[in-house]
């Protein structure tokens, strides 16, 4: 994982070695932590708050994490859990008002089956950063109940079963949501204008 090239932070502490080590540790993982939180939450401000909380917890366990080969996995798990907690806590109360129309539209009976023409490659003629920006924007436009399982499946490499357990939903619903999220992602990518020739 690439290190960030931010200006070093100078801070007074009684354990300079530990702080230096933690700075290095943080720079190695902060992009991954922030990406995970941002893609799940679709909100950069919340993602930064979550990333801050993740690293504060990491600092508390730094004695174990500093030499652990599974530190990245630990950070990813904590980030995922904190983001899901955040989404549950802050969005659930508004679901009644915000998702009524979407829920009705996404109803099993009213939604057509996925029928898309699938290209062999996607955004192949774009640079990595352009592609990243376009896909992140497309993910941001997905409704939460589709985006979250899609991100967990494709970015966090979780299985359908693991996602169903994590989100307290049925396996069938998770599979349906992910399938629809994939189908919904394609038009968003096409609407970016650049993918049209590829698709």
Partner 1 sequence: MSTHDPDEALQRLLQRTLSEMPPRRAPATLELRVFSELQRRAALPWWRCSFMHWPAPARVAFLVICGALVATMFLGSGAAVAGLSSLLESGSPSLFWARQIGVLMVSAGNLMALLARTLPLTWLYQGIAVCAVLYAVLFGLGAAVYRTLYLHQPLNGK
Q: Which residues bind partner 1 (CB under 8 A)?
A: 1, 4, 6-7, 9, 11-13, 19, 23, 26-27, 30-35, 38-39, 43-45, 48, 51-52, 55-56, 59, 94, 96-98, 114-123, 128-129, 131-132, 135-136, 154-155, 179, 182-183, 185-186
| Comparison of 34 and 143: residue with beta carbon closer to partner 1 | 34
Phi–psi pair at 2, nearest 5 degrees: -75, 145
| Comparison of 56 and 168: residue with beta carbon closer to partner 1 | 56
Identify which of 120, 170, 134 has the alpha carbon closest to the alpha carbon of residue 149.
Answer: 170
| Comparison of 19 and 84: residue with beta carbon closer to partner 1 | 19
- Side-chain half-sphere of 39: how many Cα atoms within 13 Å? 23
Q: Which stretch of DSSP H or E encloses residue 141?
A: helix 128-141
Nearest distance from residue 189's CB to partner 1, in Å? 9
Look-up of token digits 């349906």: 176
Nearest distance from residue 163's CB to partner 1, in Å? 14
């Amino acid at each position: 994982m690439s290190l960030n090239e931010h200006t070093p932070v100078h801070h007074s502490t009684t354990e300079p070695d530990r702080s230096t080590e933690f700075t290095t540790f943080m720079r190695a993982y902060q992009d991954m932590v922030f990406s995970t939180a941002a893609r799940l939450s679709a909100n950069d401000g919340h993602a930064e708050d979550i990333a801050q909380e993740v690293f504060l917890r990491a600092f508390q366990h730094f004695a174990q994490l500093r030499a652990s080969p599974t530190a990245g996995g630990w950070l990813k798990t904590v980030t995922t859990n904190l983001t899901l907690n955040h989404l549950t806590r802050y969005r659930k109360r508004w679901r009644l008002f915000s998702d009524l129309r979407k829920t009705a539209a996404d109803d099993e009976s009213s939604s057509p089956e996925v029928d898309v023409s699938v290209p062999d490659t996607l955004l192949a003629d774009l640079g990595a950063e352009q592609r990243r920006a376009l896909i992140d924007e497309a993910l941001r436009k997905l409704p939460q109940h589709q985006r979250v399982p899609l991100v967990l499946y494709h970015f966090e490499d979780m299985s359908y079963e693991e996602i169903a357990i994590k989100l307290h939903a049925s396996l069938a619903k998770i599979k349906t949501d992910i399938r629809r999220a994939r189908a919904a992602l394609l038009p968003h990518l096409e609407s970016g204008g650049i993918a049209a020739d590829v698709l």
